[in-house]
With several copies, the nearest count.
Chain A
Amino acid sequence: MKQEKATVVEHHNFQGDYRILRLAAPAVGPLVKPGQFLELRVPRLDDRILRRPFSIYKADAEGASILYKTVGRGTEAMVSLQVGDEVDIIGPLGNGFPELTKGKVPVLVAGGYGNAALYLKAKESPVKGIAFFGGRTAQDILCIEEFQVLGWDVRPATDDGSLGTKGLVTASFDPWMAEQENVQSLELFVCGPNPMLKAMGDRAIEHGFTAWLSMDKNMACGVGACLTCVIKRKTTDGWEWARCCKDGPVFESREILWEE
């Protein structure tokens, strides 16, 4: 984990409301493992004091990039970032995804910016499997070609049917899962909105496969100090708080005690 004054080297529209920001960050870049994130201080956002967390989409020795969606004050202010601007980042944060268990069949499940969080995982995975991507419309399904180029079989699903199966990601995942002879050999890596995480977690528990869920909780510090981003993690005699930023963001489905 490092704090670094990174420099914008690329910034452009990706698709729909999504943009790609590439940062020269020689301190942070080389440390990144798949599924980690960074905390970015949005420049000129002086009346908002918190950093914004973003999954690391790509990383190498020179730096890292993120794929972000404009949803509020912070991300909207990020749109004005220009090549050459300085951006203060802290990263890489969190533990990221574990390595694929030997002999298991990797399955990626993602929604929205979750795709970005899985790209590095897809890349380093020794075995390429199937990727189920969900989104509202075709505009929300990101980087399909990139995953295909890496050798993944990508199965999109959109709420409005504008790309792939019509419906939630489960609409394409469930029929596929039903066809699997050895469901328990699946190992899922999931990143997306909470209902998607929950749906995949439920299936993992019901059908006895492993599902690594990257949890999306609002954060303040990003380093484990403030106890903002906690979720309930099961213990032998009940539950304890686990911090998504420090102890996560990735948890195995059986660890999580879902609330409400």
Chain B
Amino acid sequence: MSVALEIKIGSMEMKNPVTVASGTFGYGPEYADLVDLNRLGAITVKGIGPEEHVGNATPRTFETRGGMLNAIGLPGPGAKGFIEKYVPFLAPYDVPVIVNIWGKGMEDYGKVVEMLDAEDTVSAYEINLSCPNVKEGGSAFGTDTDSFSRVIELVRGKTQKPIIPKLAPNVSDIGAFAKAAEDGGADAISIMNSYPAMAINIETLEPELANRTGGLSGPAIKPIAIKLVWDVAKATKLPIIGMGGIYEPEDAIEFMVAGASAVAVGTANFTDPSTAIRVIDGIESYLVEKGHSSVANIVGTVKA
């Protein structure tokens, strides 16, 4: 029996519902030796701002029980650098590219889209409104519905391509942001970013990260992410890209049953770069086993 794994996020067609999470897969080339990029549903690249950005000092990551902290601070080549350095690499692949965008101020979000929008290689924008590791922007927009809405509307005005706000997890009512995203014309919602967290070295009394605080990701946060996806699914009809601690096909399926139309593999790439491919294959096996003809059949089927 054959099953349809294809899904659509706005106008973006994915051959299966599995992408990689921004910041955990570089810009494409880094894992190309180990992962058949053409098999992915989409490649989501590391956050891109309008300008080159240096990011935080080191140490930038720290391992915790069942997870890790990161405070990379969104270093990167900026939109122009991305186009020069990575678009030529990505263009030949038969896989949509989701560019994760961020800005220090609201206008930056518009700027980066303006700079990227002519590139055919760019299939969609994931709007990072939830980076726990930059002072200037990101998470400030993600925890206040007003400025959140304004960013969405601004970006919506600049592009016809799908826009996918990435919500901050550290809010009491995530549904309000999902609703605001829908009202602002978003095509999908991405949830969750790493959770604001911290670790301190009790010998040196210094935080383990140069940035002091960082974002917690990995298996530790999966139950939090599942709950947020379920909350968002109740608040909006928009498709959801779910992520947070996906390590096994079963994890991805759990996200989909909770309400996610697609999923992203993040930290697991570091543990095992074959995770995304294993997840794709595992979803297919599950669908076959359960007699589903299409992956869409399992989305949001939780009995709750």
Contacts and interface: CB of A to CB of B under 8 A. Distances in A.
Partners in one complex: yes
Interface of A: 1-3, 41, 46-51, 88, 90, 217-218, 220-231, 241, 246, 259
Given A2-B33, A3-B34, 5 more contacts: A47-B65, A48-B65, A50-B68, A221-B270, A227-B72
Contact of B25 (A47, A218, A225, A229): A225
Contact of A223 (B34, B54, B72, B268): B34
B184 interface: no
A224 B219 CA distance: 22
A3 B273 contact: yes
B70 A49 contact: no
B34 A90 contact: yes
Contacts of B272: 3, 41, 88
A90 B275 CA distance: 14
A246 B30 contact: yes
Interface in B67-124: 67-68, 70, 72, 75
A49 B219 contact: yes
Given A49-B218, A49-B219, A228 B26 contact: no
A142 to B, nearest CB: 27
A49 B63 contact: yes
Contact of B31 (A223, A228, A241): A223
A2 B269 CA distance: 14
B34 A51 contact: no
B72 A241 contact: no
Contact of A227 (B55, B68, B274): B55
Nearest to B59: A218
Given A41-B271, A225-B269, A218 B61 contact: yes
20 contacts: A1-B34, A3-B274, A47-B66, A48-B65, A49-B218, A49-B219, A49-B267, A218-B59, A220-B63, A221-B24, A221-B270, A224-B26, A224-B30, A225-B31, A226-B23, A226-B70, A226-B270, A227-B55, A230-B60, A246-B30
Contacts of A46: 65
A49 B273 contact: no
Given A225-B24, A227-B55, A50 B34 contact: no
